[in-house]
Amino acid sequence: MANETTEPIAMIAIDGPAASGKSTVGRLLAERLHYLYLDTGCMYRAVTWAALQQKVAIGDETAVTQLAHDIQMEIFPANGEEDGRHYTVHVAGQDITWELRTPTVDANVSQVSSYLGVRQEMVKRQRAFGQRGAVVMVGRDIGTVVMPDAPLKLYITASAEERARRRTQDRSEQGHIANYDDILADVLRRDQIDSSRTHSPLRPAADAIRIDSTDQPPAAIVNAILQMIQEPVNGNR
Ligand code: DC
């Protein structure tokens, strides 16, 4: 990736709130660099989907944690599926990629992801994925907890109104009913839960580079990041 004088970056950690554009930036960056891409939010969503499916009470922390340990989850590249997906998620061999995006999963995933035991199990799996190297990993705690030694950490934000606008558009494009005011309320509610939870709250790592995507399209952000990592800084990078 980088120029002749630098080693390739093994891991790029990207964090930020819901609909901040971090997943799009991460995916495009991974494509441009020929890196693996892991959207860790889909793992918490898969646990939530399985709990709902198996009628495990979302408030039952012990049962949801047990399920997180037992869940057989696989994440693959999209591999030619032409339905707009960016990757494929299987649980126990079943393709649940689109099930992860339903309003019911949205409404329950913050609670599931607040459970310590669930987080510990997902972090273990995420670190194993990171061991492969040449990975772009996106989430809420990648730079702070999952991969604190990642050589490049980005924290991407955008105003709540802009994030709600994007999510409303995504929802409509996916054929769901989308009301901007409801979505804005949900974005604010999830920000509150994600950033105030006891375990691994959403916050930038001390050494993360902060990027505001409110007025910048993802492609421009990706170009800026590529330029940054390909230009030597202080003679090192
Ligand atoms: O990015 P997303 O909307 O798909 O994330 C779904 C939920 O999972 C969200 O409530 C935050 C949580 N999450 C987390 O706690 N840690 C991560 N690394 C990724 C997502």
Domains and CATH numbers, the chain: 11-226 (3.40.50.300)
* Residue bearing the CA closest to ligand 1, atom 13: 41
As a whole number of angstroms, the distance between CA 112 and CA 48 comes to 6
* Residue bearing the CA closest to ligand 1, atom 20: 41
pLDDT > 70 fraction of the chain, expressed in percent and rounded: 94
Q: How many whole angstroms from 131 Cα to the centroid of ligand 1? A: 21
For residue 235, name the pLDDT band (cuts at 50, 70, 90).
very low
Radius of gyration of the chain (CA): 17
* Residue bearing the CA closest to ligand 1, atom 16: 140
For residue 6, name the pLDDT band (cuts at 50, 70, 90).
low
Comparison of pLDDT for 89 and 8, the residue scoring more? 89
pTM for this model (two decimals): 0.91
Judge whether residue 232 has pLDDT over 80.
no
For residue 229, name the pLDDT band (cuts at 50, 70, 90).
confident
As a whole number of angstroms, the distance between CA 166 and CA 232 comes to 35
As a whole number of angstroms, the distance between CA 159 and CA 136 comes to 24
The finding on whether 108 has its CB within 6 A of some atom of ligand 1 is: no
For the sheet containing 209-212, what is the strand order?
A: 36-39, 135-139, 11-15, 152-157, 209-212
The finding on whether 40 has its CB within 6 A of some atom of ligand 1 is: yes
Give the per-residue pLDDT at 1: 44
Give the per-residue pLDDT at 80: 75
For residue 141, give the nearest of 83, 188, 208, 94 by alpha carbon: 208
Contacts of 55 (CB under 8 A, 6+ apart): none
Helix (H, G, I), strand (E, B) or coil at 155: strand
Paired strand residues for 94: 91
The finding on whether 44 has its CB within 6 A of some atom of ligand 1 is: yes
Give the per-residue pLDDT at 162: 96
Q: How many whole angstroms from 158 Cα to the centroid of ligand 1? A: 16
Joined together, the tokens standing for residue 61 give 């922390």
Mean pLDDT value across residues 206-234 = 89
For residue 79, name the pLDDT band (cuts at 50, 70, 90).
confident
Using the structure block, give the residue that is written with the tokens 């399209």.
Answer: 217
Closest atom of ligand 1 to 113 CA is 15
Paired strand residues for 92: none
Joined together, the tokens standing for residue 210 give 């902060």
Closest atom of ligand 1 to 42 CA is 4
Closest atom of ligand 1 to 45 CA is 6
Using CB atoms within 10 A of its CB, is residue 236 exposed (0-12), middle (13-18) or buried (19+)?
Answer: exposed
- Residue to substitute in 25, 44, 192 for testing ligand 1 pocket (most ligand atoms within 8 angstroms of CB): 44
Q: Are the beta carbons of 150 and 35 closer than 8 angstroms?
A: no
Q: Are the beta carbons of 164 and 214 closer than 8 angstroms?
A: no
Looking at the chain, the number of H-run helices and the number of E-run strands are: 8, 8
For residue 170, name the pLDDT band (cuts at 50, 70, 90).
confident
* Residue bearing the CA closest to ligand 1, atom 18: 139
Neighbours of 189 (CB within 10 A): 13
